Structure 1
Amino acid sequence: MTNNTEANVCVGHLREGVSRITLRPGARVTEEDGIRTREQLLALTGGARGGVLLDITGVGSVSREAISVYSAAVTVSAFAILGRTPVDRVIAHGLLGLPLPACPSEYFTDEDEALTWLQTVNG
């Protein structure tokens, strides 16, 4: 996994066609974090489209500006948003309620289910 300077976000490769973005527990994810994440994801994938497992477990907050940057990620074919707590669910609801890329997105509490779903929607 590759860490950004502030270590609020970690980007890595999970398997063929699937990347993982992990938001650090307690982090307040900003637009700058979003921009760095987009750059890291593009470098990791070489610009190829693929699914993303977005792990928000325990994150403090995600700014609207960061969500806008993630929304502009044209190389993302599907977002599986992973969380485990009631607060994660509230944050995910906010993420799902804002414009995401024109791709499927779902919230999961189980990583295996999220990965199976990504595999299904990515063909």
Structure 2
Amino acid sequence: MLRIDLEPQSHITKADGELARDRVLALAAGKPVCVLLDITGVGSVSREAVTFYSEASHVAAFALLGGTAVDKVIAHGLRGLAWPDCPARYFVDEGEAMAWLKGYC
């Protein structure tokens, strides 16, 4: 299981998404992996960044974690774009997110 924490108030760009995708692929080492993506307090995530996150083909499941109304809007916007062919769900509680991910890992 991998955790990616996005910086609060940051604006996630294509380069950020590419870096995260490369890290996920390297750490997965060809095996399916579950990812907890913490978007709490993020200012924005570009469509190009989502494209790179979605190309992490070894992701078994994505849990999106946030805590504000803006986080929820961002998460639902992200889920409306091209994601890997895997389950993705938004959570406000980290424990619930981890429990859900464990069902896929």
Matches within 5 A, 1:105-120: 105-120=88-103
Q: CA RMSD in A?
A: 1.0
2:67 alignment counterpart: 84
Q: Give the letter aligned to residue 63 of structure 1.
A: S
Mapped to 2, the partners of 1:22 and 1:48 lie a distance apart of: 21
For residue 39 of structure 1, report the CA deviation from its aligned partner. 1.4
Residue 39 in 1 paired to residue 18 in 2? no
Identical-pair percentage: 55
1:75 alignment partner, one of 58, 67, 73: 58
1:29 alignment counterpart: 12
- Which 5+ residue runs of structure 2 have no aligned equivalent? none
SS at match of 1:102: coil
Aligned length: 105
1:14 alignment counterpart: none
Q: Give CA-to-partner distance per residue, 1:83-116, whole Å, 9 cap, x none.
A: 0000000000101111111000000000000000
- Relative contact order (alpha carbons < 8 A, sep ≥ 6): 1 or 2 greater? 2
Q: Give CA-to-partner distance per residue, 1:51-79, whole Å, 9 cap, x none.
A: 10000000010000000111111010100
For residue 38 of structure 1, report the CA deviation from its aligned partner. 1.2
TM-score (norm 1): 0.82
Mapped to 1, the partners of 2:62 and 2:5 lie a distance apart of: 12
Q: Give CA-to-partner distance per residue, 1:19-75, whole Å, 9 cap, x none.
A: 001110011100111111111222223232111000000001000000011111101
